[in-house]
Amino acid sequence: MAERPIEIAPPDLSRYRSGNTGVDYVHAFDSGKPGSSVMVQALTHGNEFSGAIALDYLFKEDVRPARGKLTLAFANVAAFERFDAADPNRSRYVDEDYNRVWADDVLDGPRDSAELRRARELRRFVDAADYLLDLHTMGEPCRPIMVCAKSEKSVALSRRMGVPADLLLDTGHAAGLRMIERGAFSDPASPRAAILIEAGRHWEKSAVDVAIDTTLRFLMVTGALDVGWAKARLRLQPPAVQRLVRVTEAVVVKSSGFRFAKPWKGLEVAPKAGTPVAYDGDTVWRTPYDDCVMVMPGIAHLKPGNTAVRLGRFD
């Protein structure tokens, strides 16, 4: 059975299969006017379909860029099509995590998987984007978080958008490079920037509103949408203040015996240094400083090599 209520239904994406790019489920629109190349991607993980509902909303609103170019992509549709409400995490991916394969040596290497084949198809669109937004949700209860990878320019972009309240600079994943860390997105000398919104918990109605609102704000500040058109469709009030969490280390699973010291909640603060975070064989993970923030602790994917939680502090 599902671990939590599923409040939203998977959207019907069949109408979007035949795009105009030669790649299934990828649609590109050119305004014919000078401007940035902007991309929004949903279904990086097949079970995280709040973002797919957000793109479906844009298509139903007949969205077109006011300036520059706009690409809308449904990524791991093969995984999404496996979705089963009785076992919803099964559709996260088919063979491997699509969001850990974005290094050149992996994309150009000899390995093969459903996710690698799809990443190789979408690579040219990602590499052409000046600005990219990747739409996600989280497995455990947590306020929305904007993941800015290691990029201060992505923090600046998120502050221009004004959402969400919590921004994250992290250390990446030991299991592989994420799409928002690829190439120029991680180069401080390049103006290109990518961000990843964790819109809330999987399958919550509220995550859909966050995904749509964040997407509209992203397209507005990057110049892709007319400000008046976008503002008329905003759903949420921005927070009064945005806070930045700087991750200092990741807790990476070493063994099948890994377990958390307590059921941590996302963005929960441990007030005292030395507080046990998790146990993994002979290793005891402890908070390295006072007021340590628990960033996206998760229990669904606790296998060796995966990140169980990240430890950080509010800037």
- Residues 278 and 308 occupy one common structural domain: yes
Please indicate, yes or no, whether residues 297 and 153 belong to a single structural domain of this protein: no
By three-state DSSP, how is residue 17 classified? coil
What is the CATH number for 278?
Answer: 2.40.50
pLDDT of residue 306: 86
Phi-psi region of 59 (alpha: psi -120 to 50; beta: other; left: phi over 0): alpha
- Both 176 and 307 in one domain: the answer is no
Residue 1 pLDDT exceeds 70: no
* Same domain assignment for residues 126 and 262: no
**Rounded distance, CA 100 to CA 80, Å?**
17
In a domain, 5, yes or no: no
Q: How many domains does one find in the chain?
A: 2
pLDDT at 313: 97
* Residues 45 and 118 reside in one and the same domain: yes
Mean pLDDT of 92-104: 97
Distance CA 302, CA 305 (A): 9
Q: Residue 269: how many CB atoms within 10 A of its CB?
A: 13
**8 Å CB contact between 238 and 180:** no
CATH no. for residue 34?
3.40.630.10
CA dihedral sign of residues 81, 58, 65, 200: negative
Does residue 241 register a pLDDT over 60? Answer: yes
Dihedral (CA of 205, 207, 210, 216) sign? negative
At residue 14, the pLDDT reads 97
In contact, 144 and 198? CB cutoff 8 Å: yes
Q: Taking residues 268-283, what's their average pLDDT?
A: 97
Q: Judge contact between 183 and 217, C-beta under 8 A.
A: no
Stretch 34-60: mean pLDDT: 98
* Residues paired with residue 26 on neighbouring β-strands, in sequence order: 73
Indicate if 85 and 203 belong to the same structural domain. Answer: yes
One domain, residues 86 and 221: yes
Cα distance between residue 44 and residue 54, in whole Å: 14
**Residue 300, pLDDT above cutoff 80:** no
Whether pLDDT at 2 is above 50: no
Rounded distance between C-alpha atoms, residue 98 and residue 238, angstroms = 31
Task: Identify which of 104, 96, 35, 37 has the alpha carbon closest to the alpha carbon of residue 72.
Answer: 37
227 and 254 belong to one structural domain: no
Closest CA to 138 of 291, 285, 292, 307: 307
Residue 4 has pLDDT above 80, yes or no: no
Specify the pLDDT at position 175. 84
pLDDT in tens, 165-213: 999 999 888 889 999 999 999 999 999 999 999 999 999 999 999 999 9
Residue 139 lies in a domain: yes
Q: Which residues of 143-159 are buried (b: 16+ CB within 10 A; e: fewer)?
A: bbbbbbbbbebbbebbe
- Residues 42, 150 within the same domain: yes
d(CA 293, CA 273) in angstroms, rounded, equals 11
What is the Cα 130 distance to its own chain's centre? 17
Per DSSP, the three-state class of 53 is helix
Provide the CB-side half-sphere exposure for 93 (13 A, CA).
16
By residue range, what is the domain housing residue 276?
248-314
Say if 149 falls within a structural domain: yes
Asked if the structure places residue 8 within a domain, the reply is no
